[in-house]
């Protein structure tokens, strides 16, 4: 059994020995396990991005795509809610005439 949580690979949950481990964002892992969560490409130290809420690593392209789609989805949901309220109010005012 590993001596501490630091001896465990963030990706595969197997033991990582000091001589073979890499570290990023406070996590340890095997070099071959350090991969993008979306496309599974091998990441390099300094050439990756990290989502601290989901605790996942991404290549820069897929992180940017995720940020764009998340922001766009949030914008669309807010816009749809606003439009629904707007048209509901319009209907209410038309009914009162």
Pick the closest to residue 60 from 74, 80, 46 (CA basis). 46
How confident is the model at residue 79, as a pLDDT? 58
Q: Are residues 59 and 87 in the same domain?
A: yes
Nearest to 37 by CA among 53, 46, 48: 48
Tokens of 17: 């020995």
pLDDT tens digits, one per residue of 57-93 = 998 888 888 877 665 555 555 555 666 666 665 565 5
pLDDT at 36 over 50: yes
Give the domain extent around 8.
Answer: 1-34
Please indicate, yes or no, whether residues 68 and 80 belong to a single structural domain of this protein.
Answer: yes
Cα-only R_g, the chain: 23
Mean pLDDT for 31-53 is 91
Mean pLDDT within 29-46: 92
**Domain match, 65 and 97 both:** yes
């Amino acid at each position: 059994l590993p001596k501490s949580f630091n001896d465990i690979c963030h990706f595969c949950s197997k033991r990582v020995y000091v001589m073979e481990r890499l570290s990023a964002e406070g996590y340890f892992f095997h070099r071959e396990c350090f991969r993008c969560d979306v496309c599974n490409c091998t990441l390099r130290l300094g050439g990756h991005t990290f989502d601290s809420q989901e605790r996942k690593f991404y290549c820069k392209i897929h992180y940017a795509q995720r940020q764009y789609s998340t922001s766009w989805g949030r914008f669309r949901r807010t816009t749809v809610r606003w439009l629904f309220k707007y048209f509901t109010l319009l209907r209410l005012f038309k009914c009162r005439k």
